[in-house]
Amino acid sequence: MSRLRFGYFVAPFHAPGRNPTSAMERDLEFAVHLDRLGYDEIWYGEHHSAGSEIIASPEIMIAAASQRAHRIKFGTGVTSLSYHNPLWAADRMMQLDHLTRGRAIFGIGPGSLPTDSAMIGLDPTDTRELLSENLDIVVKLLRGETVSAKTRTHELIDAKLQLAPFTPGGIEIALAAVASPTGPRLAGTYGLGLLSIGATLSADGFDALSHHWNVMEERAAAHGTTVDRSQWRLVGPFHIAETEEKARKQVEYGIEQWFDYFQHVAAFPQMAVSGSRLTEMIDYVTEAGIGVIGTPEQARAQVQRLWDQSGGFGCMLQMGHDWANPEDSRRSAELFADEVMPHFQEQAQATLDAAEHARLVREGYAKKQLEAVDHMTRKYQAEVEAKGGAPQ
C-alpha cells in the first residue's frame, strides 16, 4: 500500500442557534490542531442557507486558516462553481495559491443545497448543466488561456488571469461526487481529481465507489486524458475514543442534530440517513457501514475496507460533524493520528518490527547484560586486590 494521506472535510456542520462567530473560530483552531498532528489536508465548504453549514466562502476561511496553520493543505470543499462568474472564481483561487504558498486545492461542484440555488433562480438541473460550462472555462483560464464565452448567467470577453500560478504545474482541481455521475464524468473528461463525498453511502444498491471510478476511467479513455488514484479523495464520518462505549456516549452530544439536518432540513436525499431514536442513530452509522463510532482499531478496519472496496485512493477525509463536544472531537482526531494513520503511511510496521525483534532476542541479550555486569564487577575487584586494598 502506498502512503495514504489523511484530512478533514469541514462542510461544516454546526447546530443552528449557537454562536456562529465562536463556531467559525473553533473551525480555524481545529485547522491548527490538525496541522500539528500531521494531517495532510482540510477542506471547507460553501453554503448559503439552512442554518447549519455556515461557511459562505471557503476561500475566506482558507486565507485565514493558512496564516495560522503553516504546513497543511487547504481545499475548497467545494466551491459551488455554478453560482459564480467562472473568471472571478478562478482568479480568487490563483490569489489563494500565492497566499498559501501553493497549498490551495480547487474543489468544485454544482452546489448541494437547493435552498442555495433557488435564491439565485437556479434549480438542481441548472446547476449541473452550468457546472460543465463553467468548468471548461476555469480549466482554460488556470492554464493561462484567453477565453471568450457566454453562459446563461455570464459573458466573458477576452478574459485572462493576471497572475501565473505559484504552484509548479498549476493548481490541483478536484470534482465533487455523491451519487450522480456528474463529478466523475467531468473529472475523467479533463483528467482531474475526484472528491467522493458519499464514499460510504449506497444509493439504490449500487456501489458508489466502483461506479465513480468506472465513469472516471471511461471518460478519460474517451477524451485522451489520464486519471490518477492518488488524486481521489474519499469522505466519511468517524468518531473514536479509547473504548467503543466511551465513543458512543460522547456522540450523544450532537448526533441527533446531525441526523435531523439530513432527514428534515437539507433537501439533499443523496445523504439520507435512518433512525428516529438516539440508539438507532448510533447503531445505523456503524451497522450500515457509513462510518465509525468506536475505537481506533475499528477505524483502521473501516479505512482498510474502503481501500479494498475502491481498489485504492489517495486521501481519506474525515467528515466534520459535531457529534461530540469540541474537546472530545479534538481527542478523536488525536487518536486517529496516533493509532490509525501510521498503519497506512508505512510508519507503524517499522516500529512494530523493531519491537518484535527486540522481544525475540531479549532473553539472550539480557543474559549478556548480566554477564557484562558480572565481568566488570570481577574486574574491579581484581584491580583493588592488586593494589593491596579491599573492595568497598
Bridge partners for 233 per DSSP: 195, 315
CATH H-level, domain 5-349: superfamily: Luciferase-like domain (3.20.20.30)
Averaged pLDDT, 234-259: 97
pLDDT at residue 207 above 70?
no
Confidence of residue 33 (pLDDT cuts 50, 70, 90): very high
Averaged pLDDT, 313-340: 98
The tens digit of pLDDT for each residue in 292-312 reads 999 999 999 999 999 998 999
The reported pLDDT for the residue numbered 203 is 46
Averaged pLDDT, 162-185: 92
The residue type found at 203 is A
* Average pLDDT value for the chain: 94
The residue type found at 212 is H
Confidence of residue 206 (pLDDT cuts 50, 70, 90): very low
pLDDT at residue 42 above 70?
yes
The tens digit of pLDDT for each residue in 96-115 reads 999 999 999 999 999 989 99
Averaged pLDDT, 42-65: 98
pLDDT at residue 348 above 90?
no
Distance CA 330, CA 8 (A): 12
Bridge partners for 328 per DSSP: none
Cα 266 to its chain centre, rounded Å, is 22
Confidence of residue 390 (pLDDT cuts 50, 70, 90): low
Averaged pLDDT, 210-235: 94
Extract the C-alpha cell encoding 111.
452546489
The reported pLDDT for the residue numbered 253 is 98
Residue among 309, 319, 310, 316 nearest 285 (CA): 319
Q: Are 244 and 295 in contact (CB under 8 A)?
A: yes
Of 178 and 199, more confident: 178
The tens digit of pLDDT for each residue in 362-387 reads 999 999 999 999 999 999 999 998 88
The tens digit of pLDDT for each residue in 188-198 reads 999 999 999 97
Extract the C-alpha cell encoding 328.
472530545
The reported pLDDT for the residue numbered 204 is 41
The reported pLDDT for the residue numbered 210 is 80
Q: What percent of the chain stands above pLDDT 70?
A: 96
Extract the C-alpha cell encoding 187.
473529472
Confidence of residue 392 (pLDDT cuts 50, 70, 90): low
Distance CA 31, CA 58 (A): 13
Q: Are 219 and 190 in contact (CB under 8 A)?
A: no
- Cell numbers 483552531 correspond to 29
- Cell numbers 461526487 correspond to 177
The reported pLDDT for the residue numbered 198 is 75
Q: Are 277 and 290 in contact (CB under 8 A)?
A: no
The reported pLDDT for the residue numbered 73 is 98
Q: How many CB atoms lie within 10 A of CB 195?
A: 30
The reported pLDDT for the residue numbered 205 is 37
Q: Which residues of 59-90 are buried (b: 16+ CB within 10 A; e: fewer)?
A: bebbbbbbeebeebbbbbbbbbbbbbbbbebb
pLDDT at residue 156 above 80?
yes
- On the question of a cis peptide bond just before residue 12, with omega within 30 degrees of 0, the verdict is yes
Distance CA 133, CA 141 (A): 13
The tens digit of pLDDT for each residue in 250-261 reads 999 999 999 999
Extract the C-alpha cell encoding 367.
543474559
Q: Are 138 and 76 in contact (CB under 8 A)?
A: no
- Predicted TM-score of the model (pTM): 0.93
The SS3 of residue 23 is helix
The reported pLDDT for the residue numbered 391 is 57
Domain layout of the chain by residue ranges: 5-349, 352-392
The residue type found at 252 is E
Alpha-helical runs (H) found in 19-57 = 20-37
